[in-house]
Amino acid sequence: MLMHIDMDAFFASVEQQINPALRGKPVIVGSRDNKYHTVVAAASYEAKAYGIKSGMSSYEALKVCPHAEFVACDSAKYTYVSREIFELLHDYSPCVEHSTIDEFDLRIAGLEPIFGSFLDLGKLIKKRIREAFGLNCSVGIAPTWILAKLGTKIRKPDGLILINDANLDTIIKGLPIEKICGIGPALTAHLQGLGVFSCDQLKTTPQEILIDNFGQSTGHWLYQVLRTDLSRSDLVFKVGPYTQNLEPKSIGHSYTLPRETRDKNVIYAWLRMLSEMVAERARKSHFTGRTVAIWISSKNDSSNRQKTYSIPTNDGWEIFVRSRAILGQKKGIIPVVKALGVSLSGLISDCALPLLTEQKKREALLSAMDRVNARYGDWTLSPAVLNLINPR
Ligand SMILES: [Mg+2]
Ligand 1 center to 204 CA (angstroms) = 30
Å from CA of 134 to ligand 1 middle: 15
- What is the domain count for the chain? 3
pLDDT reading at 380 higher than 60: no
* Angstrom distance (rounded) from CA 152 to CA 230: 20
Are residue 257 and residue 356 in the same domain, yes or no?
yes
Is 356 contained in some domain? Answer: yes
Banded model confidence at residue 132, pLDDT cuts 50, 70, 90: very high
Which segment of 15-24, 211-220, 251-260 scores lowest on mean pLDDT? 251-260
CA distances from 18 to 23, 134, 215, 349, 373 (A): 9, 10, 49, 37, 13
Given 138, 164, 190, which residue is the final one in a domain? 164
Reported as a single tens digit per residue, the pLDDT across 253-277 is 888 887 888 888 888 888 888 898 8
Q: Are residues 74 and 158 in the same domain?
A: yes
Q: Assign residue 96 a region: left if phi > 0, alpha if psi is -120 to 50, beta otherwise?
A: beta
> Is 118 a member of any domain?
yes
Kindly report the CATH number assigned to the domain that includes residue 282: 3.30.1490.100
Is 378 a domain residue? Answer: no
Residue 385, domain member (yes or no)? no
The residue-averaged pLDDT of 1-23 equals 95
Beta-ladder partners of 69 = 27
With vertex at residue 303, the alpha carbon angle to CA 298 and CA 309, rounded to the nearest 5 degrees, is 130
The answer to the question of residue 244 being in a domain is no
As a whole number, mean pLDDT of residues 223-231 equals 84
Domain membership of residue 180 (yes or no) is yes
Average pLDDT on 159-163 reads: 97
Same domain, 343 and 322: yes
Same domain for 99 and 11, yes or no, is yes
- Same-domain check for residues 120 and 65: yes
Residue 18: give its domain's CATH number.
3.30.70.270
**What percent of the chain has a predicted confidence (pLDDT) above 90?**
49
Domain termination residue (choose one: 115, 137, 164): 164
182 and 281 in a single domain? The answer is no
Q: Is residue 372 part of a domain?
A: no
C-alpha distances in Å from residue 66, one per residue of 38, 47, 51, 277, 348: 15, 11, 13, 34, 52
The mean predicted confidence, pLDDT, of the chain is 84
Distant-in-sequence, close-in-space partners of 88: CB < 8 Å, separation ≥ 6: 128, 129, 132
Q: Do residues 287 and 187 share a domain?
A: no
Residue 231 pLDDT greater than 80, yes or no: no
Both 193 and 263 in a single domain?
no
- How many whole angstroms from 337 Cα to the centroid of ligand 1? 20
Q: What is the CATH number of the domain that holds 192?
A: 1.10.150.20
Is 103 a catalytic site residue?
Answer: yes
Q: Kindly state whether residues 210 and 67 are assigned to the same domain.
A: no
User: Model-level pTM?
Assistant: 0.64
Shared domain for 105 and 192, answered yes or no, is: no
| Pair 110, 175 in one domain | no
Q: Is 33 exposed, middle or buried (0-12, 13-18, 19+ CB in 10 A)?
A: middle
* pLDDT for residue 161 is more than 50: yes
Give residues with Cβ within 8 angstroms of 207, minimum separation 6.
Answer: 219, 220, 223
What average pLDDT does the segment 356-380 reach?
A: 60
CA-to-CA dists, residue 372 to 131, 253, 369, 382, angstroms? 20, 30, 5, 10
Specify whether 263 is located in the same domain as 223: no
Return residues with CB closer than 5 A to ligand 1 (ion).
Answer: 6-7, 102
Tens of pLDDT, residues 315-363: 888 899 999 999 887 776 778 888 899 999 988 765 433 344 555 666 6
The C-alpha angle 212, 213, 218, rounded to 5 degrees, equals: 95
Q: Is residue 32 part of a domain?
A: yes
**Would you state the pLDDT for residue 237?**
61
For residue range 21-38, list pLDDT tens digits in order. 999 999 999 887 888 888
Alpha helix segments (H runs only) across 139-247: 145-154, 168-172, 185-193, 199-203, 207-224, 233-236
Q: Which domain holds residue 200?
A: 167-227
Compute, in angstroms, the gap from residue 9 CA to the centroid of ligand 1: 6
Query: How far is the centre of ligand 1, averaged over its atoms, from the C-alpha of 103 (Å)?
Result: 6
Please identify which of the residues 69, 103, 276, 318 carries the catalytic annotation.
103
Cα 201 to middle of ligand 1, angstroms: 27
DSSP 8-state secondary structure symbol assigned to residue 336: P
